[in-house]
Amino acid sequence: MALFKRKNKKQDHPEQESSSEQLLSDVEELPLTEEDHHSDSELDSFTGEAQSKQKGKRGLFEKFKQGLSKTRNNLSGKINELVHISKKLDDEFWEELEEILIQADVGVNTSLELVERIRQTARKQKISDSSAIMGIIAEEVREMLTHPGSELELREDDNLDGTPAVIMVVGVNGAGKTTSIAKLAHRFKNEHKRVLLAAADTFRAAAIDQLQIWADRVGVELVKHQEGADPGAVVFDALSAAKARKADILIIDTAGRLQNKTNLMKEISKIKKIIEREMPQVPREVLLVLDATTGQNAISQARVFQEATGVSGIILSKLDGTAKGGIILAIASELKIPVKFVGIGEGLDDIKAFDPEVFARALFAE
């Protein structure tokens, strides 16, 4: 899946989309014309690209499958048990399925909605045997998780005008915000992007120090002030530094004191205004980091930040550390905010661009 998307780029027509397997099949089946014989190198390039994409998909699938092992055991494992016990798709089966989803932190409303969708699809396809239900569940989960705007709204090519794309990262303390920023910086740097960090969480000395340690480890520069400084001043200086150093991406860390909600939201709103004033034309993202292990509490946190900051996407951290990864379905259904990244490990490479199809397959595959 492409990580970067050109701003205001028109969406492709759905009928034009094809999987890598289909692309390869089409290449093999089309008859060669005389003109085609002169473009073997182009064909080889096209085939190689499709194979590379498919290999990437397989690698992502295996990583997701490994990272979701606890949730797989808690969710798909229990559904498989239900399928073996209840051969028929009767009322008792649907009630048990709802209970399994709720226990996996999918949430009551989302669980009811998902079961009804699965039930309707099974009825349309005239399926009465429970053994055929896993494929339907995976497909309905994929559809529920698919949202427009799942790709980052960042510049796709080199930054020629000296203005960076800006990512403001928000979330409560302890959600994994600092490590998520480090992982993003590492990812972008490996894509040959020039990355600058800004330590705008100035009310915790530990936050500034931790971000400095990560910046040194990743090998990117950090703009910081002293503890207690005005976060707006830090952001202003970071924007100026990013332009002067021709950075491609500026990632801004913000405070996460949800217990002091009013002041926190005013502070974050002020930061947003400074960015909009200083760089009105640049692509911007507000990414909310949610800790998957907190379950339904993540939903209430998200509502607060969504109201105050206009969250454009979610980073779901620590997904590998919980058996209740079903929270991702509740987030998608109730908040209507796309999940853009998931954290499925402790390494710097263990933040992955979210792919609903791969996620659903990894969660429900045998």
Q: What are 214-263's pLDDT values in tens digits?
A: 999 999 999 999 999 999 999 999 999 999 999 999 999 998 876 567 77
| Cα(349)–Cα(90) distance, integer angstroms | 44
Residue with tokens 């400084």: 229
Q: To which H or E segment does residue 343 belong? A: strand 339-343
Which residue reads 């960042």 in tokens?
Answer: 154
pTM of the model: 0.80
Query: Which pair of tokens denotes residue 41?
Result: 């190198």
Contact 86, 93 (CB under 8 A): yes
What is the per-residue pLDDT across 294-343, written as a single tens digit (0 to 9) for each? 888 888 888 888 887 889 999 999 988 888 888 889 988 888 889 999 99
Contact 280, 229 (CB under 8 A): no
Residue for token digits 């952001």?
Answer: 235
DSSP three-state, residue 353: strand
Helix (H, G, I), strand (E, B) or coil at 132: helix
- How far from 188 is each of 212, 278, 283, 349, 351, CA to CA, in Å? 17, 23, 16, 11, 11
Give the residues across from 221 on adjacent strands: 196
Under DSSP, is residue 111 helix (H, G, I), strand (E, B) or coil?
helix
Smallest CA-to-CA distance from 80 within 67, 99, 97 is with 97
Q: What is the pLDDT of residue 57?
A: 66
C-alpha triplet 46, 51, 52: angle, nearest 5° = 95
| Torsion, Cα of 15, 329, 140, 127 (10° steps) | 180
Closest CA to 233 of 203, 185, 186, 200: 200
| pLDDT band at residue 280 under the 50/70/90 scheme | confident
